[in-house]
Structure formats: structure tokens, C-alpha cells
Amino acid sequence: MRGIAIKIFLAVAMVAGFVSVASAQGHYIGIRGGAGGSKVRFYPKRESKLLMPNPTFGVVYKYLGGDHYVGGIEVNVNYVEKGYKTLLRVDSDSSLQRKLTAIEVPFMWQPHVWMFKNRGRLFLNAGPYLSYNIKSSNEKLVSKEKGVLKVYDYKLDNLRDNRFEYGLSLGAGYGVTIAGRFELLAEFRYVFGFSDILKNPNKYPASNAQESPIDQMNVTLGLHYLFNKQAVEPRARRRTKE
């Protein structure tokens, strides 16, 4: 089921990108950055809370068409911190916390609607992502009242941990055009993990959960630079000029 979902979104992104690029190409590069939280869906279930704040930042490459709705495609290369916080027991004051550092690459279709005489646009993002965990911080036993109680050494182990992850990235945001060449954007994004960060007990039986996908949510700001301004002007606007 997960594999089918990823194939569908890949196909949609490719088709939408082809239509957008074929009709009118707008080439953007940019940067994005922000923060959010993350949580692991353990099975068997463990009591857990959202771990935050987790910084994220990256670079953007985007094709954007000028027409309504079709939008374009966007690819990010993001540096991401994520992790989880599990309670020692229900309503416990103490929790076990662990953070990962990863490089994530989302491939997204970006439908949009132009607004306010083409100075702004409301957009959605949807598509699969791939991720590679490059390092892990230590696990920490943390108390709300007393702070850090204990630090455990935790290094990524290829026998125990999965370095590669994949899933689905969904987002919504708003962009404002500045001086004709720049776009300032604000976006909320939810990243839904399909793969596990820990290998299942059949591969590593020592205390690993059967399932451990990680979900993230973050709010970011971005600044994109447009190379060819005329290409992304809506067709109706170009006809009016003519």
C-alpha cells in the first residue's frame, strides 16, 4: 500500500511538472528555513509527546507555470533535525529523548491560485520524500522539574537503525511577489513517514519496536529568486498586454 501511494504521487508530480513546464517555464532558486516538531508512531504503542523545537533549512529549485491551478513542481534539499520523546510511564514527569540529523529531499507538485492582481498566490505542496540519517545525538533522560537526569551514548548502528527513510510530504502556504523577481513565502508542512527509523525485531530483536515511522510538522519562511519573469505571468495578463 505504501509503495503504491508513493508511485501514484511520483506519477502525479511528473505529469503535473511536464504540463507546467510545457506551457510556460518559470525557473526559481531559493532558500527556506524554520522550525517544528516531530513524533514517532511506535507499535506496540508507547506514551509519547511531540519533540520540539527542531530546526530545518534548505535550498529550493522550482519550476512554476503562470496558469491557475496547474502550478508547477518543487524540489528541496533540506537539513533537518527530528526525533522523539517517549514517557517512562503514563503521566510521567520524565521522558527519554533522542534527536536525529538528516538530509531530506522532497519531490512535490505545487498547484496554486493567483490572488491580488497576481502579486500573491495560495499554494499546496504534495509529493514523496526521501531521507538519509547522517547522525544521531545522544539519548537523554529528561525531567520537567529537574532537567537532564542522564545522557546515554547513542550512535547510529546499521544493524539496529535504518538510515534511509521515505514518506509523503504535504504542505500549504502563501507567497508574495516582491520587485517582480523575488517571492517571499510562508508554509506549513506535514511530513508523514512510511518507513521505520528502527529495524524490526526480526532483524534486530533487542528491544526494537515492530514499527517506528516518524512524523514531522514545521513552519518555514522562504525567499525565491525568479530567473525569467515573463514566463510565469498568467496567460490572461499577457494577452491584455498584447
pLDDT per position in the chain (242 positions), as tens?
455 455 445 544 444 444 444 334 588 999 999 999 999 999 888 888 899 999 999 999 999 876 667 788 999 999 999 999 988 777 778 888 999 999 999 999 999 998 888 889 999 999 999 999 998 877 889 888 888 888 888 888 888 889 999 999 999 999 999 988 899 999 999 999 999 998 877 666 667 788 999 999 999 999 999 887 655 555 435 434 44
Contact assessment for residue 121 and residue 154, using Cβ atoms and an 8 Å cutoff: no
| Separation in Å, CA 237 to CA 24, 67, 114, 240 | 13, 10, 11, 5
The CB-based long-range contact list for 145-148 (8 Å cut-off, 24+ gap) reads: 145/93
Strand partners of residue 128: 168
All 3 cell numbers of residue 191?
Answer: 511530513
In angstroms, rounded to a whole number, what is the distance separating the alpha carbons of residues 197 and 203? Answer: 13
3 state SS of 9: helix
The CA–CA distances, whole Å, from 240 to 54, 95, 122 equal 47, 62, 23
Alpha-carbon span 223 to 229, nearest angstrom: 15
The enclosing H or E element of 74 equals strand 72-87
The pLDDT assigned to 202 comes to 65
Residue 223 has what pLDDT?
97
Hunting for cell 501514484 — which residue is that?
A: 8
Q: Is the dihedral of CA 227, 229, 235, 239 positive or negative?
A: negative
